[in-house]
């Protein structure tokens, strides 16, 4: 039985010999109506027991007087709702249960439970408090930027031979309040055993949420989010970490979380990163060993440059000097740093300036409804400008609607993360939402990645290298020797550790005492420990954008080129931009004006180059079915939108499932050509067919969408029912040198065959690949 909350005007409890009589005359409890009183007394007379739980919002009166009665009432209503909800979970075995609101800002819960459940009550009380504290913390931060605590206590209700039931309840309330005033000793809670079992028995898990590049649509990073076992008190990460902080086990918990995150990741792409949440005090803990994390990374084929420590500003840093020095040490090893919850009550611009993060994560409270809130847009525009000036990247958290995503992209936010893009999952989510088009100018720039397959290795050149223990004066002699060079790369074995640019070195040594301070020290004291580094197969356009997005004083620094993390050379910004300009000029000559993709001239060049190279490759020919009926019914502007949809989905599928160096071209109209590796072709076709079939329906009015067809004239002028637009994809494999004519004939045959299949479909030519004989076999359909 559950009684709803009622307000009780109560003076603070008064201990003394006449306490029970005081309670009888001064206090009344709303739930003690005649029927309920008889039920409680019957349980007590039969030897049963009641427990009283007490909850109080710490410093509620001060909070209410400063912020007003409305804010105070909001918090009280929240406490009522949370108590009711959690009672159903933690006190579900109780035969009787009563709730009462006490003034000011306190509550009691009275419940009867079987003897078998009473040992669980301390753990239930601790769980109650952690859940309430988490809910109250979020709401108080939203309302005021301050954190409120919850005091809790419990006591057994005993019915004396003399005295009233009210007096007995009041006495138990006094005992519970005394317990609350002394706080609970977390190390003695029954929950401690369950907590230790989680962190020591590797029972913690991790889910992964993608961090999406809002320019390219690619997944550039994953954030690892800890989860406890389902059904346990610690399934919620907020409860888990709040409890760890109370019992002084934050370091042990975070170590277990890092192990779970790295262990369950199942690998990263070379340019992807893993975001690991970390408590600031963990970094300066004497127990924290970066070598332990490094060993885990190496065991799973990862490097420090792929890890970003995500620091939540809600945790204050007492010794900022030590913290800053520790961060610089880890940065020197290749780790990067992100600051979380920017824009909440926790965030401080001073701490951001001190930490100098590589990433700023905008809290979801600023992102929510940003498409309709001009004040939030103005704040975020300021953060975008701020991030660009200090050379860090901005990540918008909590993106939950298409309108929020479009607004963030339009404003120039670098990355997005949220349920609209992909929910956290284990294993990592396989697909994300298709990003909307950013407009003509941004769309053309974004498509450059697809139009040119020139990798960074083609513009890389060798450079002078030194070891980390090389003295600065020797590096200076190298830079200013008989053959002056502009940069030196610091390498440890085959791994790049830093970069020394000649002009940066000269500036550092020209300061007062600069030469005497640095001349005989290791080059690590003066190098850039986090230069821009890119894999050799990264398109030059991508590297150019990253280079231009750096801090102004580093914007023309060389880029270190690596192959699977190992140093292979450097590329100067001037050479990259010169190469990119030539490529863009050539590509612009044949680019399709609607999609910005390479046109027929570029397609022919690509096919000729692939054929001349003598390797194996596959051509995917994409064509829309029933497109003429769509154009005739809804007009050419709507038809252009469907063509753009197909181009974006195909580009996304190529990035997601294809290989480095894949090519996408627009033949014209609704025809596209994609060139990829044979083993990648079918996965790309499956993704295109599935996603296009789902999204193209949005381009139809509701009536036509529900009936599944449109009525229009066919090519002979007869009125006919046409199914919804679908895509047909044909795969043709090539081996060695093939003529464009033979490729065209085979592609036309397979396209016609694919178009005979219903709906969104793809077909693969199972005959011998072009270029390796004339033997023919049946063409086999892979999927329709």
Q: What is the DSSP string of 468-493?
A: TT-BHHHHHHHHTSSS--SEEEEEET
Of the CATH numbers 3.10.580.10, 1.10.10.10, 2.120.10.30, 1.10.3720.10, which one belongs to the domain with range 456-579?
3.10.580.10
Phi and psi for 19 in degrees, rounded to 5?
-60, -45
DSSP summary character for residue 459: G
Ramachandran category for residue 404: left, alpha or beta (phi over 0 → left; psi -120 to 50 → alpha): alpha
| Paired sense of beta strands 726-735 and 761-764, if any | parallel
State the Cα–Cα distance between residues 25 and 70, nearest whole angstrom.
32
Structure tokens at 226: 């800890």
DSSP H or E stretch at residue 617: strand 616-625
- Structure-derived torsion over alpha carbons of residues 129, 132, 137, 143, reported in degrees to the nearest 10: -150
Q: Say which CATH topology domain 7-192 has.
A: Alpha-Beta Plaits (3.30.70)
Cα 681 to chain centroid distance, Å, stands at 29
Quickly tell me which residue has 């084929």 as its tokens: 301
Hey, which residues does 720 pair with through a beta bridge?
Answer: 712
Name the strand (E) or helix (H) holding 712: strand 709-713
Query: Residue 159: exposed, middle, or buried by beta-carbon count in 10 A (0-12, 13-18, 19+)?
Result: middle
Superfamily of domain covering 593-783: Reverse transcriptase/Diguanylate cyclase domain (3.30.70.270)
| Strands 487-492, 464-466: pairing kind | parallel
Q: Please count the residues of the chain.
A: 784
For the chain, the straight-line distance linking the first and the last C-alpha, in angstroms and rounded, comes to 58
In contact, 401 and 431? CB cutoff 8 Å: no
C-alpha distances (whole Å) from 686 to each of 27, 535, 644, 693, 757 are 71, 28, 19, 11, 14
- Residue 477 has what pLDDT? 87
**Nearest CA-CA partner of 497 in 519, 540, 473, 527:** 527
Question: Could you tell me if 173 and 107 are in contact, meaning their C-beta atoms sit under 8 angstroms apart?
Answer: no
**Closest alpha carbon to 667 in 620, 703, 618, 727:** 620
Three-state secondary-structure class, residue 693:
helix
Contacts of 184 (CB under 8 A, 6+ apart): 125, 126, 129, 152, 153
* Partners of 487 in the β-ladder: 501
DSSP conformational letter for 187: G
Answer whether 556's CB lies under 8 Å from 530's CB.
no
Q: How far apart are alpha carbons 103 and 56 in whole angstroms?
A: 10
CA pair distance 39, 27, nearest whole angstrom: 20
Query: Which region holds residue 218: left if phi is over 0, alpha if psi is between -120 and 50, else beta?
Result: beta
Gap between the Cα atoms of 269 and 541, Å rounded: 19
Nearest CA to 408 out of 373, 377, 439 is that of 377
Distances (CA, A) of 537 to 460, 474, 563, 602: 11, 33, 8, 20
Listed in sequence order, the residues at least 6 apart from 490 whose beta carbon sits closer than 8 Å to its beta carbon are 465, 466, 467, 468, 470, 496, 497, 498, 499, 500, 523, 524, 527
| Chain-centre distance for alpha carbon 142 | 22
How many Å apart are CA 562 and CA 306, to the nearest integer? 13
Report residue 166 as tokens. Answer: 């009210």
Distance from C-alpha of 567 to C-alpha of 463, rounded to nearest angstrom: 10
Q: Which helix (H) or strand (E) holds 609?
A: helix 600-613
3-class SS letters over 303-334: CHHHEEEEEECCCCCCCHHHHHHHHHHHHHCC
Token pair, residue 296, equals 């885990």
Tokens for 718, please give them. 């007869």
Q: Do domains 7-192 and 593-783 have the same CATH topology?
A: yes
pTM: 0.44
Name the residue with tokens 């450059």.
Answer: 448
SS3 assignment, position 380 = helix
Alpha-carbon span 729 to 688, nearest angstrom: 9
Q: Could you give the CA distance from residue 199 to residue 252 in angstroms, rounded to a whole number?
A: 7
- What are the structure tokens assigned to 302, written together? 């990862």
Distance, CA of 461 to CA of 569 (rounded, Å): 5
d(CA 154, CA 176): 5
Write down the domain spans for the chain: 7-192, 206-446, 456-579, 593-783
| Of residues 410, 390, 377, the one with CA closest to residue 549 | 390
The DSSP line for 31-85 is T--HHHHHHHHHHHHTT--EEEEEEEETTHHHHHHHH-HHHHHHHHHHHHHHHHH
**Cα-based torsion angle of the residue sequence 559, 561, 564, 568 in order, rounded to the nearest 10 degrees:** -150
Q: What is the fold, at CATH topology level, of the domain defined by 206-446?
A: TIM Barrel (3.20.20)
Q: What are phi and psi of 514, to 5 degrees?
A: -60, -45
The low-confidence residues of the chain, meaning pLDDT below 50, are 1-26, 183-184, 186-189, 346-347, 437-452, 773-782
Residue 696 DSSP code = G
């Amino acid at each position: 039985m559950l009684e709803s909350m009622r307000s009780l005007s109560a003076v603070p409890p008064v201990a003394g010999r006449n306490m029970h009589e005081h309670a009888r005359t001064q206090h009344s409890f709303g739930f003690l109506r005649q029927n309920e009183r008889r039920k409680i007394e019957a349980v007590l007379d039969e030897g049963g027991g009641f427990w009283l739980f007490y909850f109080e919002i710490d410093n509620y009166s001060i909070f209410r007087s400063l912020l007003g009665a409305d804010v105070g009432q909001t918090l009280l209503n929240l406490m009522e709702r949370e108590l009711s909800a959690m009672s159903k979970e933690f006190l579900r075995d109780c035969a009787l249960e009563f709730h009462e609101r006490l003034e000011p800002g306190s509550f009691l819960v009275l419940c009867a439970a079987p003897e078998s459940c009473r040992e669980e009550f301390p753990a239930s009380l601790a769980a109650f408090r952690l859940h309430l504290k988490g809910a109250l913390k979020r709401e108080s931060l939203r309302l005021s930027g301050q954190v409120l605590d919850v005091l809790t206590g419990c006591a057994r209700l005993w019915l004396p031979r003399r005295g009233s039931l009210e007096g007995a309840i009041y006495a138990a309330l006094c005992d519970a309040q005394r317990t609350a005033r002394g706080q609970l000793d977390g190390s003695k809670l029954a929950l401690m055993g369950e907590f230790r079992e989680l962190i020591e028995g590797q029972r913690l898990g991790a889910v992964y949420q993608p961090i999406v590049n809002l320019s390219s649509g690619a997944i550039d990073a994953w954030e690892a989010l800890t989860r406890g076992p389902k059904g346990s008190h610690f399934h919620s990460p907020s409860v888990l970490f709040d409890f760890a902080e109370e019992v002084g086990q934050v370091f042990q918990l975070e170590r277990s979380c890092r192990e779970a995150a790295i262990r369950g990741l199942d690998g990263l792409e070379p340019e992807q990163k893993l975001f690991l949440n970390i408590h600031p005090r963990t970094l300066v803990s004497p127990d924290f060993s970066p070598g332990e994390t490094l060993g885990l990374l190496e065991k799973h084929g990862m490097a420090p440059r792929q890890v970003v420590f995500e620091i939540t500003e809600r945790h204050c840093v007492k010794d900022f000097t030590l913290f800053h020095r520790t961060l610089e040490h880890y940065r020197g090893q290749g780790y990067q740093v992100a600051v979380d919850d920017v824009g909440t009550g926790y965030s401080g611009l001073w701490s951001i300036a001190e930490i100098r993060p590589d990433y700023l994560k905008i809290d979801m409270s600023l992102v929510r409804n940003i498409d309709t809130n001009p004040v939030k847009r103005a704040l975020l525009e300021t953060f975008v400008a701020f991030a660009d000036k200090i050379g860090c990247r901005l990540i918008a958290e909590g993106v939950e609607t298409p309108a929020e995503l479009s607004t963030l992209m339009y404003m120039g936010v670098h990355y997005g993360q949220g349920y609209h893009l992909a929910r956290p999952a284990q294993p990592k989510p396989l697909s994300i939402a298709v990003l909307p088009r950013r407009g003509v100018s941004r769309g053309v720039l974004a498509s450059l990645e697809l139009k040119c397959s020139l990798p960074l290795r083609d513009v890389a050149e060798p450079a002078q290298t030194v070891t980390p223990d090389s003295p600065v004066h020797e590096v200076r002699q190298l830079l200013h020797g008989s053959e002056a060079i502009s940069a030196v790369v610091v390498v440890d074995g085959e791994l790049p550790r830093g970069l020394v640019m000649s002009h940066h070195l000269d500036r550092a040594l020209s300061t007062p005492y600069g030469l005497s301070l640095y001349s005989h020290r290791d080059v690590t004291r003066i190098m850039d420990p986090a230069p821009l580094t890119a894999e050799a197969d990264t398109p030059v356009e991508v590297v150019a954008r990253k280079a231009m997005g750096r801090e102004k004083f580093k914007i023309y620094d060389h880029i270190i080129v690596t192959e699977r993390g190992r140093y292979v050379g450097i590329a100067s910004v001037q050479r990259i931009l010169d190469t990119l300009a030539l490529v863009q000029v050539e590509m612009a000559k044949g680019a399709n004006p609607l999609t910005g993709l390479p046109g027929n001239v570029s397609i022919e060049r690509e096919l000729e180059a692939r054929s001349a190279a003598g390797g194996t490759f596959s051509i995917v020919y994409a064509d829309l079915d029933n497109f003429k009926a769509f154009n005739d019914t809804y007009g050419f502007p709507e038809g252009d939108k469907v063509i753009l949809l197909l181009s974006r989905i195909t580009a996304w599928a190529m990035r997601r499932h294809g290989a480095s160096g894949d090519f996408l071209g627009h033949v014209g109209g609704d025809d596209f050509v994609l060139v990829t590796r044979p083993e990648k072709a079918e996965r790309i076709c499956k993704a295109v067919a599935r996603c296009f079939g789902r999204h193209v329906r949005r381009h139809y009015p509701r009536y036509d969408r529900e009936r599944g067809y449109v009525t229009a004239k066919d090519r002979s002028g007869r009125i006919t029912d046409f199914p919804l637009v679908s895509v047909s994809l044909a795969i043709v494999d090539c081996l060695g040198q093939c003529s464009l004519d033979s490729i065209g004939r085979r592609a036309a045959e397979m396209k016609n065959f694919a178009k005979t299949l219903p709906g969104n479909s793809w077909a693969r030519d199972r005959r011998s690949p072009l270029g390796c004989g004339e033997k023919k076999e049946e063409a086999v359909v892979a999927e329709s």
